[in-house]
Amino acid sequence: MPGTVTDQLVQQRSTHPRRNVLLGLVLLVDYREHGRTFLNQRANAGRSELLGLQIILGKVRSFTSPGRGPSTGSDHCSDHALLVCQDPTLSERFFKEVLDFYPTERVQPELESEQCMATWLSAGQKIHDIAILGGPVQGKLHHFAFQLEDWSKVLRAADIISMDDISLDIGPTRHGITRGETIYFFDPAGNRNEVFAGGYRAYPDRPCVVWTPDQLAKGIFYHDRVLNEAFTTVWT
């Protein structure tokens, strides 16, 4: 596909045959790793795998500056999901009383309130395993997130998102809530995906952090302090 990393690779000049084999293997490993992480790359995955095999077999000219380095393999597990419902207080109670989660951060109508407009819940020591956002619809997915190692990996994900012209929602940036580093993007089916790193360690006896609606935008996007329209209206 013109303009893709693969296209750039095949247009660059040849190098030593032994290096070609190594680079072909790198390309195959890259496909195996990123093909699992970024769903919309699957459309190009078969071609990338074929190209890697062709380079190893000496049937295609190799390249001098790969667009992607090999993955560490440590950045591909799921982290959390954010669900949308009409009664987040009730859903929070379900996760607390039935599934033994505890809230780490909440958005409440006021500082002293049993009600919540959104809640972030953990079942262990991650800052959240599931989050719930109040909205006009029931049982919708706002996004699910992949865990990355650190901020540098989030920036690397941003590079890949740009290289492959993936539909970007927002980021890279930081959350006030959870303090995590983030990028939101859409897969070809329209589901919002997130890559997420950081966030502080949670404990059940740590006081829950409370946000009020006037600080919600800062809580979601700590740097911009503005909620983009898609973030509050697009769910699947």
Q: Where does this chain bind Fe ion (CB under 5 A)?
A: 145, 194
Query: Shortest CA distance to 208 belongs to which of 234, 186, 182, 177?
Result: 177
Position of tokens 């589901």? 191
- Nearest approach in angstroms of CB 92 to Fe ion is 16
Least distance (Å) between residue 143 CB and Fe ion: 6
Q: Measured from the CB of residue 69, what is the shortest distance to Fe ion in angstroms?
A: 26
Position with the least CB separation from Fe ion: 145
Partnered with residue 210 across adjacent β-strands are 106
Tell the smallest beta-carbon distance from residue 218 to Fe ion (Å).
16
Residue closer to Fe ion, measured from CB, 129 or 164: 129
CA distance 98 to 152: 37
**CB–CB of 89/114 below 8 Å?**
yes
Query: Is 147 within 8 Å of 79 (Cβ atoms)?
Result: yes
Question: Judging by DSSP bridges, how do beta strands 77-85 and 130-134 pair with one another?
Answer: parallel
Helix (H, G, I), strand (E, B) or coil at 62: coil
Question: How many Å apart are CA 114 and CA 142, to the nearest integer?
Answer: 24
Instruction: Determine the Cα–Cα distance for residues 49 and 25; give it in Å rounded to an integer.
Output: 10
CB of 196 to Fe ion, least distance (A): 6
CB nearer Fe ion, residue 9 or residue 133: 133
Question: 188 with 62: CB under 8 angstroms?
Answer: no
Dihedral sign for Cα atoms in the order 214, 83, 127, 113: positive
Q: Phi/psi of residue 137, each to 5°?
A: -125, 160
Residues that are catalytic: 80, 128, 143, 175, 184, 194
